[in-house]
Chains A and B, each alone.
Chain A
Amino acid sequence: MSKLKLATVWLDGCSGCHMSFLDMDERLLKRISRERRPHAGGRRGEQRRRSAQDSDRAAADNHLVSLGDCAVTANVPGMRNSFGVKAVYDRAYRENVTFDPGIPNQVVPALLPYSRPVHEIVTVDVFVPGCPPSADTIFYVLTELLEGRQPDVSLKTRFGS
Chain B
Amino acid sequence: VGEAVKQGKTIIIDPVTRIEGHSKITLHLDEDGAVEEARFHVTQFRGFEKFCEGRPFYEMPSLMARICGICPVSHLIASAKACDALLAVTIPPTAEKLRRIFGLAQVVQSHA
Task: State the A residues within 8 Å of B (CB).
Answer: 10, 12-19, 76-77, 79-80, 82-83, 87-89, 91-92, 96, 104, 107-109, 111, 115, 131-132
Contacts and interface: CB of A to CB of B under 8 A. Distances in A.
Interface string B39-77: 101111111011101000000000100111110100000
Contacts of B70: 15-16, 19
B6 interface: no
- Nearest first, the 5 A-B pairs at minimum CB distance are A16-B69, A88-B47, A80-B47, A15-B69, A91-B50
B46 A16 contact: no
Contacts of A14: 20, 66-69, 72
Interface residues of B, number: 23
Chain A contact residues: helix, strand, loop or mixed: loop
B24 interface: yes
Contacts of B68: 14-16
A135 B111 CA distance: 17
Contacts of A87: 50
B64 to A, nearest CB: 10
A17 B66 CA distance: 11
A86 B100 CA distance: 39
11 contacts: A10-B22, A14-B68, A14-B72, A15-B69, A16-B69, A76-B46, A80-B46, A80-B50, A88-B49, A96-B49, A108-B45
Given A14-B67, A15-B68, 17 more contacts: A14-B20, A15-B20, A16-B66, A16-B68, A19-B70, A76-B46, A76-B66, A80-B46, A88-B51, A92-B49, A92-B50, A104-B41, A107-B24, A107-B41, A107-B43, A109-B43, A111-B45
Contacts of A115: 46
B51 A83 contact: yes
